[in-house]
A = this chain, B = another copy of it.
Amino acid sequence: MSYYHKHVFFCVNKRGEGEDCCANHHAEQARNYVKDKVKMLGISTDKNFIRINSAGCLGRCDQGPVMVVYPEAVWYTYVDQQDLDEIIEEHLANGRVVERLRV
C-alpha cells in the first residue's frame, strides 16, 4: 500500500537565461495553487491521503510544464487554472484520469 494515495510531483526546475523550463510556465505558482486548493477543499483524508510536492527536473521538458501523480504514474501537462482545477476535482478528489491533459 502506498503511504500517500496520491503523491503529486510538479517539476519546478529553473534553467539558465534563455532556456525553456517548467519554471517559465508558472510551475511554482501552479504547485502552490494545487496545494492550497486541496487543503481548502479538504479532499486529503485518511482514505485519500494526498501530498503535493515540488521536484527538480522530471526529464520530460519537451512536454512541459509537467506533473506526475503516483503510484498510478499518470503524467499531465497544464496551461491554466482551469486545467489545474480539473485535475484536482477529477483525479485528486475522485480518481478519474483527465485524458485531455495526459502526456
Contacts and interface: CB of A to CB of B under 8 A. Distances in A.
Contacts of A56: 53-55
Contacts of A78: none
Interface string A56-92: 1111100000001011110100000000000000000
Given A70-B71, A71-B73, A72-B71, A55 B9 contact: yes
Contact of A70 (B54, B60, B70): B70
A52 B16 CA distance: 21
Identical chains in the assembly: 2
Q: Which secondary structure dominates chain A's binding surface?
A: loop
Contacts of A68: 3, 7
Nearest to A66: B3
Interface of A: 1-4, 7, 9, 51, 53-60, 68, 70-73, 75
